Structure 1
């Protein structure tokens, strides 16, 4: 069988091309630390990797959202604690026990009234605090300040008088606003019921209507259930020409009773914070697990990959040396 020079060169070029491609593939694996770099190389692993990447990025989104929710809730808790400290100060220093003897003079009472009105304004400012561009105590409407305190002492929540009596339109609207929910998906399998409403157990409610903390409406005796309104009414009694100690004592007792609503909200926020911490731990563990799974599907054994690369480099160099013997001198090389 006659083997021509062209046949030898053709086979050599094909084999050299294969050697170069193999060397390039092994080099790419070492540089990228991936077992494949195109779907065609390993369709099954590529499909599995695609699923894992979707889960991984979804989990990253959940972690990012959880971090925002935690920061938002920290802001809510800080504001609640500020208001609670003010309520403690009012209960301690501005109760009926402080209105004795000398303190019952008109001048001293005016000083107390002025201080209470400042507390009133400060509490409203705390309730109108925001995180980034969202108001923390506005329920589902985080774009507008929820509370407004007018000069005559009227307090409104999202336009409705918080001192509204039962049976009024404002009281009915406040009842609805107090139950508002604002759900976010934290990787708990967000789902909807047959009415296209979020299933509460599948999402986290980060809404906190401010009226649930400071109270709203009136009791059966017609007294306000809102601590800010009560603070203003106590100030009005103190600044009156004739001080009604009995009425002030009654307001003070009501104020102390309603103040417990803040503590209840702080406790509820503490429970939510614990839930968020637990959820964060779960998501971080999921993140680690997904990274390990992606490494198993896409990753390579670096020691083996480097060994393969060095061997393919050796084979390529050997192929080049073989080429020098194939391209032997021809008759043309001896022509003068």
Structure 2
């Protein structure tokens, strides 16, 4: 008995084949429009995985390039700012005024030079308080708060007097034992008792004012030091020693702030030894600490190392010049705050003593400016490297997923031809049979 092929059977087969042609035509059209070899992970798992890794590298490099551009903008602004400070304020005004003021042949102009130096010191601080966008450039890793502030004749950096370490003399009264009590308590409460380290010893000797004790390394502050600074003191002796401890601790805070770091990934392979402890050399330090450029603290003579304060010290000396004296000379009664109480001879001696220190402070600032210039050059080189890497990575991505457009168009044309042919055959060959109508 023969098997009859009905029109419905032919229609079902035709519809199935037509749907296949439609799918192939749609895929070919998508390939031309997207110019991709695959549009899902299932199409080509190996290529899709490779593309994912390459795109991850691409976006990481893109982020590093943006970081580099942002940091360069900051460093370039800082470099131009420091160039203006060096050429116009220091070399153009301050050092000329200092040299003229220490020259006896121009003594009559000293009081005018005092005003110039005082205003120059203020201009220096204005320049170091400059902002880029919403961030203070020279504020270290605290760009939201103004770094420098004048408080009378005192200069503060983030709330700490830049003369810290010399503001409070060591008390003559016996040590009340606060230092021993706090440090012993911290040692006993430690997870492993008797863990007194070299850092603890260095801080103990430094805070106690032991003879020959040097300032500890930045970043080695034990927890018991923070506990000590919270003490209030109950007697005058304890309060005096706590003031002494705080002054020395403030100096260490300035030392720590001068070396602050702001970790930025610029494509050097950032890695960490432990949480928040990156490998040195794998990151870029984007912090610019203003106190590091103009220095802080005092020297063995009690003179400030800070460039702005040195200008103020000269101004206080030159202010004492009395044109009405016969002959003209220094009048101690006219001296500014930092020079009060000095004799005429001491004023003149101090002016000559500060001259060399001012030159050294100027050289320190210029050295920091040169370091900034070298870092800016690195940023330019790094930007070029990342741009090249970005281009190469993008080329690799295109090699993985991008289709040959000529082949894609040829395939699309063929699938369109097949689809049109299928439609034409269906119109010509398929029709309802009489038997189908009679069922």
SS of 1:176's partner is helix
TM-score after normalising by structure 1? 0.91
Question: 2 CA distance for matches of 1:195 and 1:25?
Answer: 49
Q: Which of 60, 63, 69 is the equivalent residue of 2:62?
A: 60
Deviations 1:283-315 (A, max 9, x none): 112211211111111110000000111111111
Residue 169 (structure 1) aligned with residue 249 (structure 2)? yes
Give, in angstroms, the shift of residue 248 of structure 1.
2.3
Q: Which of 72, 96, 99 is the equivalent residue of 1:96?
A: 99
Question: 2 CA distance for matches of 1:262 and 1:18?
Answer: 76
Which residue is 1:118 aligned to? Answer: 119
Deviations 1:167-222 (A, max 9, x none): 63332221222221111111222111147411121100111211111111111222
Question: 1 CA distance for matches of 2:20 and 2:432?
Answer: 26
Question: 2 CA distance for matches of 1:69 and 1:297?
Answer: 33
Contact 2:7 2:431 in 1 (8 A): no
Residue 87 (structure 1) aligned with residue 87 (structure 2)? no
Q: Which of 394, 406, 416 is the equivalent residue of 1:291?
A: 394
Question: 2 CA distance for matches of 1:102 and 1:270?
Answer: 39
Q: How many correspondences in the alignment?
A: 329
Q: Structure 1: which 5+ runs fail to align?
A: none
Question: 2 CA distance for matches of 1:264 and 1:133?
Answer: 28
Residue range with higher mean Cα deviation, 36-45 or 190-199 = 190-199
Residue 37 (structure 1) aligned with residue 36 (structure 2)? no
Question: 1 CA distance for matches of 2:162 and 2:396?
Answer: 55
Question: 2 CA distance for matches of 1:224 and 1:116?
Answer: 16
Q: Structure 2: which 5+ runs fail to align?
A: 167-208, 210-247, 323-329, 331-346
Q: Which of 368, 379, 383 is the equivalent residue of 1:265?
A: 368
Which residue is 2:231 aligned to? Answer: none
Question: 2 CA distance for matches of 1:128 and 1:169?
Answer: 25
Question: 2 CA distance for matches of 1:139 and 1:263?
Answer: 19
TM-score after normalising by structure 2? 0.71
Which residue is 1:138 aligned to? Answer: 139
Q: 1:203-282 alignment to 2 at 5 Å?
A: 203-242=283-322, 243=330, 244-282=347-385
Give, in angstroms, the shift of residue 241 of structure 1.
4.6
Question: 2 CA distance for matches of 1:195 and 1:55?
Answer: 23
Residues 136, 189 of structure 1: CA spacing in aligned structure 2 closer, same or farther, 3 A cutoff?
Answer: same
Contact 1:96 1:249 in 2 (8 A): no
